[in-house]
Chains A and B, each alone.
Chain A
Amino acid sequence: MNEDPYKVLGVARDASQDAIRKAYRKLAKEAHPDLNPGNKKAEDRFKTISAAYDIVGDADKRARFDKGEIDASGTARPSQQDFYRQYADADGGRYQSSAGFDDFADLSDLFSDMFQRSGRGGAAGRGPRQMRGQDLRYQLPVDFLDAVNGAKRRVTMPDGRTLDIAVPPGTRSGQTLRLKGKGMPGMNGAPDGDALVDIQVGTHPLFERDGDDIVVELPISIDEAVLGGKVAVPTITGKVSLTVPKGASSGQTLRLRGRGVPAGRNRAAGDQRVKLKIVMPAAIDDELETFMKSWRESHAYNPRAGMKE
């Protein structure tokens, strides 16, 4: 390993430690033997890159190298590194996945046969110890509306299998779904483990959840507040028409029965609560102002009469 470490990493002699680290990371991602199974050149290249980074990746060693105190070969490399790829076939290829053959419909018998045989070879000699498969835990983020209305999700697991998850209507953050038999396989005829899926529910710009009710704030105009009338309200299943009563106030809450979280086992559907909020027009025109002035003369009222000091 006598090559100039700066050249190997493709950085200037005055590059920052951070720039050197980034350059190393980029090259290692390309050349690491575990990311290039079976490629012999990758191992040599990776060793060169590692040796270079061993010197200039460390600020002290780099300074000594720059002063000529150590040369490009002057570092003790750990003599041998164990790469995962050397073990990929160990234990009967326990981690290997045959998912890559799933679409070989016409050849699947040939290949599945091969995999079964190799699997049996790996387990031989261990004795018929029965053991239930381990449970596996996953995190699943779910949109607000999908959690409320229920949804189906397909996720890919670390071993390449896919898992179909039915998120039931009304699912809450922190709830865990258990999928029987979708964990690690059991040994020697013991049952498979379960998959445990932790749900995290996102937020929604309009809707909030309060128990089984959905709460939404609905802006209305002053004329709608005074005269009442029908307005469109978003609900978790689309828009519905709501009658605003004559003389409605900000903060008043109207209830849409059964429009909240849908009914489930042992649970009735929730309501949607609509909280009204009167919004003034963008500008108060003369006509409105004149009208209000004359209206006040004969109809003044005190909405704060009930407030105690």
Chain B
Amino acid sequence: MGLTEQDVVAAVGEISARRLRMIVRRGWVRPQRRAGMAEFSEADVARVRLVYLLTEKLEVREEDVPVILSLLDQVHGLRRALRNLGRAVESQPDEVRARIARTFRDLDRTN
């Protein structure tokens, strides 16, 4: 069960419902919708806090927020892919892992 707009305002504590709606309207946080009502997950709430941190605490300009979010989302996407790739390699037999490690080092040196 997701959280409503009021739940999020109460949980974050330092933003208004109006500001929350603006953050959603700009696509920075994208809650699910059920019967026309926004339904926030814990991750959505954490992301609202992130936007609050950027704009209020670190005084990042409004127009720079999408730049930061886009880069962060790309970093998290790349990290996830890299982590899973690492796990996939990890589960291979020793011999295969050694070969991959060697190839990796060679590529790292030359590229």
Contacts and interface: CB of A to CB of B under 8 A. Distances in A.
A200 to B, nearest CB: 13
A23 B41 CA distance: 34
Interface in A32-70: 32, 34-35, 37-38
Interface in A67-116: 82-91, 93-101, 111, 114-115
Contacts, number: 112
Contacts of A114: 81, 84-85
Contacts of B70: 97, 99, 156-160
B72 A37 contact: yes
Interface of A: 25, 28-29, 32, 34-35, 37-38, 82-91, 93-101, 111, 114-115, 118, 131, 134, 136-137, 156-160, 184
B20 interface: no
B24 to A, nearest CB: 9
A184 B66 CA distance: 15
A93 B76 contact: yes
B43 A37 contact: no
Contact of B74 (A32, A99, A137): A99
Contacts of B17: none
Interface string B32-57: 01000000011101110110010001
Given A83-B46, A96-B73, A158 B27 contact: yes
Contacts of A32: 53, 58
Contacts of A96: 73-74, 76-77, 80
A136 B73 contact: no
